[in-house]
Structure 1
């Protein structure tokens, strides 16, 4: 048994400058020259492209950053009396989303799910479906069968509308969103679809005869045709978007979630004394 107090003999140290590999028999190896000290890298002197201030301008430069603060101290304070008074938002304000339609009424969403992938808050859920001759909801092969946006997660960043390849998803100026439950803050496809306008037919219906999805993407389809109206008249005689139908007011019924949210927003505004 080895003595625990006995330490192993130290290994002999190699002389400085010796090679790590042993020299071959009969071959002379010259020692490696000692390395010199590493000096600091030479850095070029920085020269600013902005001319240096002089005189009075250089004297007032430290307080120049307070110019915006000082200029606003003497302006009149404007307080918006919301909800009694509603002030229009800026034109590019990011509000509630909207799923757009083509000029003949077909939906622009193709169910590609790029908006869901681009969403940093995981607020969008999309399921695609296949278009068939009897159920043609959008030009091409697929459409958004299920489309949900959870407004408890949405941060209104707008990355989803940047990712949409067909400009199907845009953002409106509507900002009054309120709901009594968590489920009431999840918008479905019926709540997000844009309202039907004059010349449109409610989907599903065939594409304009003699066209492909390319003509739709290029904006060459401007209105519904007689052949499309005849197909809708045969499949859905009581469709309100037909010329003899009940009209667009009857067709543009908001979805259940959007209708309930609008009711709660209206109640909150009445409670706040809105005019």
Structure 2
């Protein structure tokens, strides 16, 4: 009738204890350890973050930035499109009225939780004003507390486009 019966393995006590499998894994690990200890020239390691990777694509997404108009004011009109498109729900915007005639409103608060962000770029694609970008060239972001990873509008506006990306 087309039914295939597959015999189940691992019924013996030796297989149930997983000891041979653990011993085999430890043997492989120890063999690599001894080989690398004898000849360290074949190790492919990098002193990160002191030495940054050089094989990153131009399209690699870094930390976000908010773009500005020529007068220094933010391009963001607090339309919430980026926050709506974000699959991680890590963008928080609080809008206020704008009185300079550039737009109707602007973000009073604009925060991104970098620990929640999956760096997908949907926020950049969804923005109708080209106000948010991920071309800073900042690929590693470190901090000692969770609060340091929630970046605000001032931080996002202070980020500039990477010089390496400007040349291309």
TM range (shorter): 0.5 to 0.7
Structure that is richer in helix per residue: 2
Q: Alignment partner for residue 160 of structure 1, among 114, 119, 123?
A: 123
Deviation track 1:105-133 (CA, whole Å, cap 9, x = no partner) reads 2211000010000000110001111112x
- 8 Å contact 2:65–2:159 — kept in the other structure? no
- What is the CA distance between 1:82 and its match in structure 2? 2.2
TM-score norm. by structure 1 comes to: 0.39
In structure 2, the residue corresponding to 1:148 is in which secondary structure? strand
Structure that is richer in strand per residue: 2
* 1:189 paired residue number: 153
Q: Alignment partner for residue 112 of structure 1, among 79, 96, 103?
A: 79
- 8 Å contact 1:98–1:170 — kept in the other structure? yes
* 2:65 paired residue number: 98
In structure 1, the residue corresponding to 2:82 is in which secondary structure? helix
- What is the CA distance between 1:193 and its match in structure 2? 0.5
Deviation track 1:152-178 (CA, whole Å, cap 9, x = no partner) reads 110101001000000000002201211
* 1:83 paired residue number: 49
Structure 2: runs of 5 or more not aligned = 1-41, 161-168
- What is the CA distance between 1:179 and its match in structure 2? 1.5
Deviation track 1:183-206 (CA, whole Å, cap 9, x = no partner) reads 12100111110468xxxxxxxxxx
Q: Is 1:141 the counterpart of 2:108 in the alignment?
A: no
Q: Is 1:178 the counterpart of 2:157 in the alignment?
A: no
In structure 1, what is the Cα distance between the partners aligned to 2:87 and 2:95?
21
Equivalent residues, number: 117
Structure number with bigger Rg? 1
In structure 2, the residue corresponding to 1:184 is in which secondary structure? helix
In structure 2, the residue corresponding to 1:162 is in which secondary structure? helix
* 1:127 paired residue number: 94
Change (3 A) 1:194 1:141: same
How big is the alpha-carbon RMSD for the aligned residues of Structure 1 and Structure 2? 2.1
Change (3 A) 1:194 1:83: closer
User: Which of the pair has the greater relative contact order for Cα pairs under 8 Å at 6+ separation?
Assistant: 2
Deviation track 1:24-48 (CA, whole Å, cap 9, x = no partner) reads xxxxxxxxxxxxxxxxxxxxxxxxx
Q: Alignment partner for residue 151 of structure 1, among 103, 114, 117?
A: 114
